[in-house]
Chains A and B, each alone.
Chain A
Amino acid sequence: QQKVQQSPESLIVPEGAMTSLNCTFSDSASQYFAWYRQHSGKAPKALMSIFSNGEKEEGRFTIHLNKASLHFSLHIRDSQPSDSALYLCAVSISAGNKLTFGIGTRVLVRP
């Protein structure tokens, strides 16, 4: 059964700094890797995803995937107070459905 773990559990980041979040998974057959963000009292929302090894950048967000290491990460450049949220990583054997989520990293960006 897929195990997905996130680190750190929580993070306090000054406004304007880089936020770095980590996710490890256990099933080497995993094909789809994603980050979701959940603001307090709201539903999770997809941030970005990746299928193949390497890096993908969208605006201030960059995702890195290393399948051999069973690890992927999310980096947020120029962090803003509005980035304060619970960040959930998710992994799937096939895209879209039956995602296995990590427990989340709670991020607080201090002005």
Chain B
Amino acid sequence: VTLLEQNPRWRLVPRGQAVNLRCILKNSQYPWMSWYQQDLQKQLQWLFTLRSPGDKEVKSLPGADYLATRVTDTELRLQVANMSQGRTLYCTCSAAGQGDERLFFGHGTKLSVL
């Protein structure tokens, strides 16, 4: 059973351009939605956790700038800008604190820099 629908699966991003990612939650029992990035060396790093519709956060990390938005109870978005190195972005969900502590991952969006 797929808990998260994440798209696109892959995107080639011209240097200097931004890209928008979207994640849809399929099971409301896991409402805590987050974004993680995995770099080319496979280091997985937490970016954001957004619980409520309207929540927004920005973050600048080596190699990319991020803007995350919880649009609705079921939709999470991420804008990636100024990316200098490829990476994979994963949307995750969890029940956190309701007896099931697992983090569930979407398929991931692999971003490559053109």
Residues of A within 8 A of B (CB): 32, 34, 36, 38, 43-46, 49, 86, 88, 90, 94-101, 103-104
Contact = CB atoms under 8 A, between A and B. Distances in A.
**Which of A44, A45, A96, A101 has the most B CB atoms < 10 Å from its CB?**
A96
A52 B96 CA distance: 17
Nearest to A45: B105
A97 B104 contact: no
Contacts of A36: 103
B41 A99 contact: no
A46 B96 contact: no
Given A46-B104, A101-B44, A103-B41, A95 B97 contact: yes
A97 B34 contact: yes
A49 B41 CA distance: 24
Given A44-B44, A88-B44, A104-B42, A99 B105 contact: no
A90 B46 CA distance: 11
A103 B43 contact: yes
B103 A96 contact: yes
Main secondary structure of the interface of A (DSSP, over half): strand
B71 interface: no
Interface in B38-78: 41-46, 49
Interface of B: 32, 34, 41-46, 49, 90, 94-97, 101-108
Contacts of B49: 97-98
Nearest to B102: A46
A94 B95 CA distance: 12
Given A49-B102, A95-B96, A104-B42, 19 more contacts: A34-B103, A36-B103, A43-B108, A44-B105, A45-B105, A46-B103, A46-B104, A88-B44, A90-B103, A94-B96, A94-B97, A96-B32, A96-B95, A96-B103, A97-B94, A97-B103, A98-B46, A99-B46, A101-B45
